[in-house]
Amino acid sequence: MSVRAVVGLQWGDEGKGKIIDFLSTEADVVARSQGGPNAGHTVVVNGETAVFHLLPCGILHPHTTCVVGNGVVVDPAVLEAELAYLDAHGISWKGRVLLSHAAHVIFPYHRMLDLAWEKKRAARSIGTTGRGIGPAYVDKVSRVGLRLGDLRNPGWFRERLLANIEEKEALLEWLGFGEPLEHEAVIASCLAFGDKMASWIIDTSRYLNEALDAGKRVLFEGAQGTLLDLDHGTYPYVTSSSPLAGGVGTGCGVGPTRIESVFGVAKAYTTRVGNGPFPTELPDLEAERLRGLGEEFGATTGRPRRCGWLDAVLLRYGVVLNQVTHMAITKLDVLDTLPELRIATAYRVKGEVTRHPPMDPWMFEHVEPVYETHPGWLTRTSGAKRWGDLPAAARRYLDRIEELAGARVDMVSVGSGRDMTLHRD
Ligand code: IMP
């Protein structure tokens, strides 16, 4: 099975970076299909932490070619910083980083609009990462966005960008952010970026299809998670793209039958950053304990993550929507010192017990999780080298997750290091 997709099964931050880093050892090409610098894929190599927001984190494996697909929104400044990181670490990227001509560009006014809308919405704000993601996708859908391919034609690019800037200035003024935008500086830096990357802004859909036809091993690197999906997540508290395995088709320009296996990644508990429903969220003090144990602070914004018990209702929902073939459970070691663990196996909604999440956002207010309790293992798991080294209670916890979620747990991570991932077989 050499064409794989890795997806998050919760609200992002599941530790996908670590699993992608591992699976990249068996991939020739690693491709991202959606999202933008709202993601923060963390990989720890020899004690050094690397966080990638835009480039596939498979870039750390020198044999891979890394693709930023058409479904991604690209902030040139962030990409430049990541390329500089690679340069500083002696990692060659020329010819290894391919950018889709159809990926949309995030401009400074997208970031400003993101913050301005959030402020305006006040109590109804989403708690976005502030990276301009939503406004960039709005422009894409409104068909006024500019794409990386447009950087090849300065006249075309300039004319359209200036028209956009005029509109955005009016909008920003209405939102109370009246600063004029620095047109010329933005145009110059974007065109310089386009020039620098010209040879690698290509039709990545064609590249990927040809690579697949040639039998290359391709790994699709998902960002965010199922519950942040624009259509199937906890709308409106979601991101603006589709992090599902189904999103890979449109986000990379490959047919859906190309994907042979889907790796769903979930934490051994649940976290969420930003606003919106979270049925198994723990009250402040208990959440703080889990946050401390799991170092639960956003990789992109540094915000403290909300923390709670594992929610098997939502996990099963993610397994179905993505048709997960393999599951990876991360951060099991974070639970090592807890005497008792809980898993939500169902919801009670207005007196009715259900195994499905509610359809409408306001219904989450009536959700009461139905928990089962598991004994903790109270043993350090981070030294485990094989599945069999895990304490029996931890193995039972994993077996139960598998049973409730409806997918096989093949991998478990017990620490941040590359060698701290255990495989069932
Ligand atoms: P946006 O994607 O910045 O518009 O944010 C929308 C929602 O998705 C907010 O709740 C963010 O905190 C959340 N979000 C976006 N990207 C990530 C991620 O990579 N990990 C976790 N949450 C994310």
Atom of ligand 1 minimally distant from the CA of 128: 5
> Counting atoms of ligand 1 from 1, which one is nearest the CA of 228?
8
Mutate to test the pocket of ligand 1, among 137, 228, 278, 307 (most ligand atoms within 8 A of CB): 228
Report the residue count for the chain: 425
pLDDT of 300 > 90? The answer is no
For residue 80, give the CATH number of its domain.
Answer: 3.40.440.10
Quote the pLDDT of residue 337: 97
Residue 239 in contact with ligand 1 by CB distance below 6 A: yes
pLDDT band per the 50, 70, 90 thresholds, residue 229? very high
Q: Which ranges constitute the DSSP H helices of 257-411?
A: 284-294, 312-322, 392-405
Q: Phi-psi category of 364—alpha, beta or left, where left has phi over 0 and alpha has psi -120 to 50?
A: alpha
Give the confidence band of 182 by pLDDT, cuts at 50, 70, 90: confident
- Say yes or no: 282 and 414 in one domain: yes
- Does the pLDDT of residue 228 top 80, yes or no? yes
Confidence label for 1 from pLDDT (cuts 50, 70 and 90): low
Is residue 180 pLDDT above 80, yes or no?
no
Q: From the CB of 390, is ligand 1 less than 6 Å away?
A: no
Token representation of residue 39: 């993601």
Distance of CA 259 to the CA centre of its chain: 18
Residues 138-165, mean pLDDT to the nearest whole number: 97
pLDDT reading at 179 higher than 80: no
Structural domain including 116 reads 104-196
Mean per-residue pLDDT, 207-219: 98
Q: Name the residue with the closest Cα to ligand 1, atom 21.
A: 12
Active site residue 13: yes
How many angstroms separate the alpha carbon of residue 227 from the centre of ligand 1? 10
Q: What is the pLDDT of residue 418?
A: 86
What is the structure's pLDDT at 29? Answer: 98
pLDDT score of 40 more than 80: yes
Ligand 1 lined by 100 (C-beta under 6 Å): no
Instruction: Take residue 313 and report the two structure tokens written for it.
Output: 């209702």
Residue 297 DSSP class: B
Is 133 a pocket residue for ligand 1 (Cβ < 6 Å)? yes
Residue 115 confidence class, pLDDT cut points 50, 70, 90: very high
Domain boundary pick from 147, 170, 196: 196
Span from the CA of 160 to the centroid of ligand 1 (angstroms): 28
93 and 12 share one domain: yes
Cα(248) to ligand 1 centroid in Å equals: 18
The tokens 């624009």 sit on which residue? 230
- The catalytically annotated residue of 28, 41, 114, 374 is 41
Q: Do 26 and 119 sit in the same domain of this protein? A: no
Which of the listed residues 161, 181, 196 is the one where a domain comes to its end? 196
Q: State whether the beta carbon of 76 lies less than 6 angstroms from ligand 1.
A: no
On average, the pLDDT of the chain sits at 96
Dump pLDDT digits (tens) for 22-35: 999 999 999 999 99
The reply to whether ligand 1 has any atom less than 6 angstroms from the CB of 369 is no
Ligand 1 within 6 A of CB of 113: no
CB 414 within 8 A of CB 382: yes
User: In angstroms, what is the span from residue 1 Cα to ligand 1's centroid?
Assistant: 31
Q: Tell me, what DSSP letter sits at residue 143?
A: T
pLDDT at residue 389 is higher than 80: yes
Shared domain for 232 and 140, answered yes or no, is no
pLDDT at 416 over 80: yes
- Ligand 1: centre distance to CA 9 (Å): 14
Residues 301 and 415 occupy one common structural domain: yes
Among 244, 263, 282, which residue terminates a domain? Answer: 263
242 and 159, same domain (yes or no): no
Q: Are residues 396 and 328 in the same domain?
A: yes
Q: Do residues 381 and 287 both lie within one domain?
A: yes
**60 and 189 in one domain?**
no
pLDDT at 213: 97
The residues, any chain, with a CB within 8 Å of residue 378's CB and separated by 6 or more, are: 336, 337, 339
Q: How far is the CA of 12 from the centre of ligand 1 (A)?
A: 7
392-413 confidence digits (pLDDT tens): 999 999 999 999 999 999 999 9
Ligand 1 atom having least distance to the Cα of 38: 16
Q: Which pLDDT band, with edges at 50, 70 and 90, does 277 fall under?
A: very high
Query: Domain with 155 in it: what CATH number?
Result: 1.10.300.10
Whether 351 and 236 share a structural domain: no
Residues 276, 324 within the same domain: yes
Residues 282 and 369 in one domain: yes
Please count the CA atoms within 13 angstroms of the CA of 254 that sit on its side-chain side: 30
Q: Quote the number of domains for the chain.
A: 3
Across the range 257-269, mean pLDDT stands at 98
Q: What is the average per-residue pLDDT within 358-368?
A: 94
Question: Looking at ligand 1, which atom is closest to the CA of residue 273?
Answer: 12
User: In the prediction, which pLDDT does 401 show?
Assistant: 98
Ligand 1 contacts CB of residue 108 (under 6 A): no
Catalytic residue among 13, 75, 150, 333: 13
**Residue 178 pLDDT exceeds 80:** no
Q: Say if residue 47's pLDDT is above 90.
A: no
If you measure from the C-alpha of residue 239 to the centroid of ligand 1, how many angstroms do you get, rounded to a whole number?
6
From CA 149, how far away is CA 152, in angstroms rounded? 6
CATH number at residue 355: 3.90.170.10
